[in-house]
Every structure is written in structure tokens, then in C-alpha cells.
Amino acid sequence: MSTAHLTIDLDAIAANWRALDRASASGVQTAAVLKADAYGLGARRVAQALARAGARRVFVGSIYVLFAMMIWVGCMGGCSYVNVIVKIQRAENLMRTEKELAIMILMMFNDFGILLASVFALILNLTVFKSAA
């Protein structure tokens, strides 16, 4: 039985997208399209590579892929948040009051980040996306 080995070159995928973006007309936003888990390459990994390359619009072939990507991003954010809380609670060099303070500061910064993202999304919606429609 023969075996195959597939190497995914995310840098090459990003370079291909940048080449297509340069070939596009001035003022045109080049989008990326991910189908069927990026043809088995891993939609999440490919989408992240495209985002790092400058792609700001990524289309998916199925609403289910979009849901999966949204759930993945939400889970990663939630897991990192919970991980920090657990690390604070397990810190042996902090007193109980210091742990409570650290968790309160974490929650404040988390809420502040959500507020900033919401304001940024509102500004984009009222300016950039309004003119693009």
C-alpha cells in the first residue's frame, strides 16, 4: 500500500492571494473564497493565513462553514479567558484579595475590549460599509 504526504504551504496560499490582489483594479477589494474546508486544507488555518496576508473579505461556500468558524473563534476567545482566570485562581503567590482584584481587572479589560470592538464595528458600518453598498 502506498502512502501520500501533503504539505500545506500557507505562505504560498497567502502569496497567491497577494498576487491576485495586486492584479485587481485599483480601489477594488479582493476577496478570498473557502470551499469545503478549503478543499481539505483546513478552513481555519487557510482563513488565518489569508487574513495575515491582507484579505479582509472571505466568502464561504456554506453557512455551516461560517457557523463552524464563528464557533471556533468564540471557543478560542472563551477558552483563553477561562484559562487566565484559572491561572489567577491557582497562583500560590497571590492572596485571596489580590486574586479577586486580578479577576476584576481581567473582567474590566474584557468588557472594555468588547466595547471597543462594538464601537469600531459601528464606525465601520456607518462609514466604510455604507459607501461600499
Domain ranges of the chain: 1-69
One-letter identity of residue 116: L
Distance CA 133, CA 128 (A): 9
96-117, pLDDT tens digit by residue? Answer: 999 999 999 999 998 898 888 8
Confidence of residue 124 (pLDDT cuts 50, 70, 90): confident
Mean pLDDT of the chain: 84
**Ranges 58-62, 76-80, 88-92, most confident:** 88-92
Biggest CA-to-CA distance, the chain: 63
Q: How far is residue 4 from each of residues 7, 12, 39, 74, measured CA to CA in Å? A: 10, 20, 16, 34
Distance CA 104, CA 106 (A): 5
13-54, pLDDT tens digit by residue? Answer: 899 999 999 998 888 888 888 876 666 677 778 888 898 999
